[in-house]
Amino acid sequence: MTHLSLSRRAALAGLASLTAMRWRSARAQDQRPVVVGQTFLAESLDPAEGVASWALQSHGVAETLFTVDRNGALAPQLARAVERDGEAWIVRLQSGIRFADGAPLTAAAVRDALARSAAANPRATGQTGRLAFAVLDPLRLRIATERPVPTLAPVLAEFPMVIYRVAGDRFHFTGPFRVVEYRRGDLIRLEPNPEFRSPGTRPAVVIRRIGDPQALALALEAGELDLAFNLPTEALARLRRRDGITVKSTAVAYQYMLLLNTARAPLDDARVRRAFDLAVDRAALTQVLGAGEIATGMYPSFMPFAVTAPRASALARAEALLEEAGWRRAGSGPRQRDGRALEITLTAYPQRPDFLTILPVVKAQLEQAGFRVRAETTEAITPQLQAKRFDAAFWAMHTAPGGDGAFVLEQYLRSSGPLNFMSYASPAFDATLDRLRETEAPQARADLMRAAHEPLFADAPIAFLLTPVWHIGLSRRLAGYEPSPSDYYILRADLSAQG
């Protein structure tokens, strides 16, 4: 009997494994693709552009060094670990990972991706300030931050920090799917990434952007979709009666809120903003939506750094604050001051169907307090926020996507934060964030995040509304699909389809 050498046997085993992987990939692509309908789509394939990195992560294309599991716990993804090195940090990478074009994941590649995103997108450095990198060896990268951070792993789990490789005008990622066709604002066609580290029989996928939530429900009903993400409440009863359609509902780690422009009259007066906040009846909103939990503050109540008391609604107190601010009742019309009406615009966007449902309800509640309210919807909410062309805008946000609540406070509410659309400035709030930057112990950090709510509630740059429940419609092919508690992970490595 001839004995093969160890190297020869290893080579044959590797060849067999590669052949099996390619066979599984080809078999998956022979299936008809899974068709996903959702109200948003990556605005670009360039992960340094806007929030494209978040959408690409949601589409199963991009990954970060660390991630958050279904229970909200931080977990390694492309990295194995991160450890402090004096005032800097050393990231140790997983070995054997490749980008979708076959290039290996190395410390140099990670450096290039993070440095490029940090230079192009202020979201990437809102918490850390400037970043400096040193490649120690192929799988170790040293990262120094301009501002002290008590722990780096949650920062590296945030969506602006996805890892990618640029080759000419193409971007290559490490996720379970790779892009084969992209039509901006319309669709993305995906195929299984043959270089993905976990073999499987993932199907090809087509993601269609359907901006109208009711059209999304109708497309599912007509059999055009296998997965309809974030269905409107009004369609649920009808869809649940349809044979071959499964609707699954899941509580999510998002918060619904209204961003208030503190630089624009009449919301430049904190008394008017507090009155606005008190006039909103959150319990009525959860009843209209048929689900959800009244917000306690910036974080869902199940997070360890959340405030515990639900936000109060009190119409009489709201009216007293408006009187104190000089806004008087003028018959049955809106309140008046100096001959001007107490007038604001409420802005919603259809990518979050729940906002279209509660928009008229909030409008009526504010009008009861004496506001004159104009309601509008926009397909492009982010540019409007960036230009600060709004009074009060609905917003949905995962407030701890990296497992730590400091990210959202630094990005949205620090006076110099890159996403401070509200023009909010509070020395007391900034001082709390300064202390948070220097605090490592989890309990002490949680206490500071709760303390940060005191100036927020007093100044009211945000009216926190509720923690929502989202609804996902599934065809028979995806009846076994289990939703993630956020839209960061709609398409995952475990996706499988019947037929």
Beta-ladder partners of 377: 348
d(CA 214, CA 237): 13
E strand residue ranges, 184-221: 187-192, 205-209
207: nearest Cα among 495, 4, 459, 448: 495
pLDDT at 31: 74
Torsion of CA 383, 469, 203, 43, to 10 degrees: 0
pLDDT at 286: 96
Per-residue pLDDT tens listing for the chain (499 residues): 333 343 334 444 443 444 444 444 444 444 799 999 999 999 999 999 999 999 999 999 999 999 988 777 889 999 999 999 999 999 999 999 999 999 999 999 999 999 999 999 998 998 899 999 999 999 999 999 999 888 899 999 999 999 999 999 999 999 999 999 999 999 999 999 999 998 878 999 999 999 999 999 999 999 999 999 999 999 999 999 999 999 999 988 899 999 999 999 999 999 999 999 999 999 999 999 999 999 999 999 989 999 999 999 999 999 999 999 999 998 889 999 999 999 999 999 999 999 999 999 999 999 999 999 999 999 999 999 999 999 999 999 999 888 889 989 999 999 999 999 999 999 999 999 999 999 989 999 999 999 999 999 999 999 999 999 999 999 999 999 999 888 888 999 999 998 7
Using an 8 Å Cβ cutoff, are 143 and 133 in contact? yes
Give 369's contacts (C-beta < 8 A, 6+ positions apart).
275, 276, 279, 315, 318, 319, 322
Q: Could you tell me the pTM of the whole model? A: 0.85
Angle between helices 315-324 and 270-279 (to 10 degrees): 160
Strands 469-474 and 227-229 come out as antiparallel
d(CA 137, CA 92): 10
Domains of the chain (ranges; CATH) run: 63-172 (3.90.76.10), 254-467 (3.10.105.10)
176 exposed, middle or buried (CB, 10 Å; 0-12, 13-18, 19+)?
Answer: buried
d(CA 97, CA 197): 6
**3-class SS of residue 305:** coil
d(CA 489, CA 300): 19
Using an 8 Å Cβ cutoff, are 463 and 277 in contact? yes
Three-state SS sequence of 306-345: CCCCCCCCCHHHHHHHHHHCCCECCCCCCCEECCEECEEE
**3-class SS of residue 418:** coil
Using an 8 Å Cβ cutoff, are 149 and 155 in contact? yes
| Continuous segment of H or E residues that includes residue 397 | strand 392-398
Per-residue DSSP letter, 415: T
Amino acid identity of residue 389, one-letter, is R
Neighbours of 263 (CB within 10 A): 11
